[in-house]
Chain A
Amino acid sequence: MTTDSAHAPATPRTAASGARPADHRRTGTPRPRRRNRDTVAGYVFLSPWLLGFVGLTLGPMLASLYLAFTDYNLFTAPEWTGLENLTRMAGDERFWDSVRITLIYVLVGTPIKLAAALAVAMLLNYKARGTGFFRSAFYAPSLIGASVSIALVWRAMFSTEGPVDSTLNLFGINMGGWIGNPSLIMPMMILLAVWQFGAPMVIFLAGLKGVPAELYEAASVDGAKSWRKFISVTVPMLSPVIFFNLLLEMINAFQIFASAYIIGSGTGGPGGATNFYTVYLYTRAFANNQMGYASAMAWVLLLAVGVLAFILFRTSKSWVHYAGDSK
């Protein structure tokens, strides 16, 4: 460690240089020793993460890719079956049901959740001060919404005796209990997702604070009304944040598990209405011991998420504007 100080005087630095360790190249003093030591130190500091990345992320990813082409029940060695898992999947009605349910949940639930998040963020941004309490209160559901406790509470609230039905009864609407009715499970699950609008709202709010006030003033001078300002100033200025939220929330929505599992009592019921993709994957893997089939399902999910992210990134060029862009 002490050799470092011997080198130090050779590279006088100004306070504003923001000096990086690779600086010696600029000053012309060769310091190979320091560079080697940095590499060693880098990998020492990174070793826990690296071990986790290789052992618990990259390795398992490749292993599940291999298992996707096998028949594996956990007790006998995996048996190579080629594309059989995929062809079985194509003819598996429960698989397609789970795809349909999950896609509805992702493609309907996420936009509603983000619209709610943006609307509330704009409402809070209307005031410059005194909104901290509301920001925190609205964020709270995001922190606990995916827990088993809330799933149980949701079940109770939407049951025949629960407060939702009794409130609707006051208005002469009789739903007859949401829990037992397969066609009402999806609206209930989407309501649970929308209730957790707080996390994207906080991110939107931070983005809104960064929109320069002059832009709104300029729009006002040009005679723009509020809707026009929203479309021409807020949305373009916020588009990177909208993109970020859309990507993250969609990927998260694909992975909904605990709430669906608890509300459906682990069976996917009633009538398969809570048989979300991950619930079905879990059932196949850990109730039926079909690790090969479940791995194939996992990779289909990964590819679906990848394709979705790819489409979002590709289309983002036309609607996401970064500061400093000429557009």
Chain B
Amino acid sequence: MTTIESNPAVPVPVDPDHRRQSGPRRRPMRRHLPTALWIVGIAALTAVVLYPLLWMFSASFKPNAEFGSNQGLLPENPTFDNFVKVMQGIAGIPTWKFFLNSLILAVGAVIGTVISSSMAAYAFSRITFKGSKILFAAMIGTLLLPFHVLIIPQYIIFRNLGLIDTFWPLLAGKFLATEAFFVFLMVQFIRNLPRELDEAARIDGCGHGRIFLSITLPLIKPALITSSIFAFIWSWNDFLGPLLYLNSPDKYPLPLALNIFNDQTSTSDYGATIAISVLALLPVMLFFIIFQRFLVDGVATQGLKG
């Protein structure tokens, strides 16, 4: 906390050489200390925060014998054995099948979320109709609703529909915009668009359908991308939903496959456990690295206007 002493809005040169040359003339001497401390502090913090991920990645290449004996971060005898073992399958089911199941669920979630949430967001932000205010308030209310209040009746509904052990219970909510976060994100985005374009299109004879498809959707592309990535990652990581609805191992997505793996081998086979964890996280990490700005900005706007 002691490092925060200057006005946060004043840009401080980051480049150390630049600082050394121009610093003393422009800034008081004591400025150097906070900047140096800042760099040390942020570097230490980055190391601590990223350590579990680095450890996970490097441990997946460690032979089992090195767990417990090799305390270093890097494996002494790096090996692909853990990955080879894991790719052979879990409980008699080839590992690619779990990836395929996860992929089907995640792609379905993205398609459903984008269609249903953008439609709802358009209605809430661009159409004036009776009851829209109270329904919008209800939508915001569901943001704070604990999911566990719904799981038992939802389970009973899907059981009566004969949909247990299918993907439908996991996808239905996505196509019905039940995740208010996405609707809210898009509403915020649409509200910031100029209305003049809508009005011009209306004067040209466009109805809401045309305005939505030809004007609103193309303009909210950033919000659609953010929502798609979140929908994909949340579906990919979801554990409770598949745990409730899927019984046959050949329909399991990765989180459930990891769970059987955990039951079977957790105490003895660290290498394989970590290797499959790495494989399961890899797509999410890739998405994150490519689209980080969309994700982080999405979270930031949600907080600012919420």
Q: Which residues of A are at the interface with B, using a C-beta cutoff of 8 A? A: 1-2, 4-5, 8, 13, 15, 18-22, 35, 37-39, 41-43, 45-53, 55-61, 63-64, 67, 74, 119-120, 122-130, 132, 134-141, 143-144, 146-150, 152-157, 159-161, 163, 166-167, 195, 199-200, 202-208, 210-211, 213, 216-217, 220, 225-227, 230, 241, 244-245, 247-248, 251, 254-255, 257-258, 261-262, 265-266, 278, 281-282, 285-286, 291, 294-295, 298-299, 301-302, 305, 309
Write the residues of chain B forming the contact surface with A, with a CB cutoff of 8 angstroms. Answer: 1-12, 14, 34, 38, 41-42, 45-46, 49-50, 52-53, 55-56, 59, 67-68, 71, 73, 115-117, 119-120, 122-124, 127-130, 132, 135, 138-139, 142, 144-157, 159, 172-173, 175-178, 183, 195-196, 199, 202-210, 212, 233, 237, 239-240, 243-244, 254-255, 258-259, 262-263, 266, 270, 273-274, 276-278, 280-281, 284-285, 288, 292-293, 295-296, 299-304, 306
Contact yes or no, A208 B8, CB < 8 A = yes
Set of chain A residues within 8 Å of B295, measured between Cβ atoms: 139, 143
User: Within the complex, what minimum Cβ distance (angstroms) separates B74 from chain A?
Assistant: 12
On chain B, the residues within 8 Å of A123 by CB distance are 3-4, 38, 41-42, 45
Determine the chain B residues whose CB is within 8 A of the CB of A135 once the complex forms. Answer: 296
| Residues of A with C-beta under 8 A to B292 | 136, 139
Inside 8 A of B195's CB, which chain A residues have their CB?
18-20
Q: How far is the CA of A99 from the CA of B200 in the complex (A)?
A: 57
Residue of B nearest to A63 (CB): B153
Q: Is the CB of B4 within 8 A of A156?
A: no
9 interchain residue pairs of minimum CB distance:
A52-B176, A203-B303, A42-B129, A161-B68, A60-B153, A45-B123, A49-B120, A149-B277, A213-B9
* A202 CA to B226 CA, complexed, in Å: 15
* A53 CB contact (under 8 Å) in B71, B117, B129, B138: B138
Asked if A265 and B127 make an inter-chain contact with CB atoms under 8 angstroms apart, the answer reads: no
**Known interface pairs A137-B50, A262-B259. Does A298 touch B288 (Cβ–Cβ under 8 Å)?**
no
State whether A137 touches B49 (Cβ < 8 A): yes
Bound Cα distance from A53 to B240, whole angstroms = 20
Most buried by B among A15, A119, A125, A148: A148
Once A119-B1, A139-B296, A202-B303 are accepted as A-B contacts, the answer to whether A128 and B199 lie under 8 Å apart by CB is no
Please determine whether A5 and B46 come into contact, CB atoms closer than 8 angstroms: no
Which DSSP category, helix, strand, loop or mixed, fits chain A's interface?
A: helix
The interface residues of chain B lying within 8 Å CB-to-CB of A206 are: 300-301, 303-304
Cβ A128 vs Cβ B12 within 8 A? yes
Looking at A63, A128, A140, which has the most chain B CB atoms within 10 Å of its CB? A140
Distance to closest chain A CB from B135 (angstroms): 7
Alpha-carbon distance A148/B240, docked complex (angstroms): 10
Is the pair B281, A149 in contact by a Cβ cutoff of 8 Å? yes
* Interface residue from B9, B11, B159, B273 paired with A156 (Cβ < 8 Å): B273
Contact status of A152 and B273, CB under 8 A, knowing A64-B153, A141-B49, A143-B233: yes
A261 contact set on B, CB distance < 8 A = 239, 243
Please give, as numbers and ranges, the residues of chain B lying within 8 Å of A166 by CB-CB distance: 71
Q: Which of A120, A147, A200 contacts B255 (CB 8 A)?
A: A147
B176–A55 touching, CB < 8 Å: yes
Q: Separation in Å of the A162 CB from the closest CB of chain B?
A: 8
Asked if A302 and B299 make an inter-chain contact with CB atoms under 8 angstroms apart, the answer reads no
Is the Cβ of A160 less than 8 Å from the Cβ of B68? Answer: yes
Q: Considering the chains assembled together, what is the distance between the CA atoms of A16 and B101 in angstroms?
A: 51
Give bound CA distance, A208 to B28, whole Å: 25
Chain B residues near A22: list those with CB within 8 A: 128
Residues of A with C-beta under 8 A to B68: 160-161
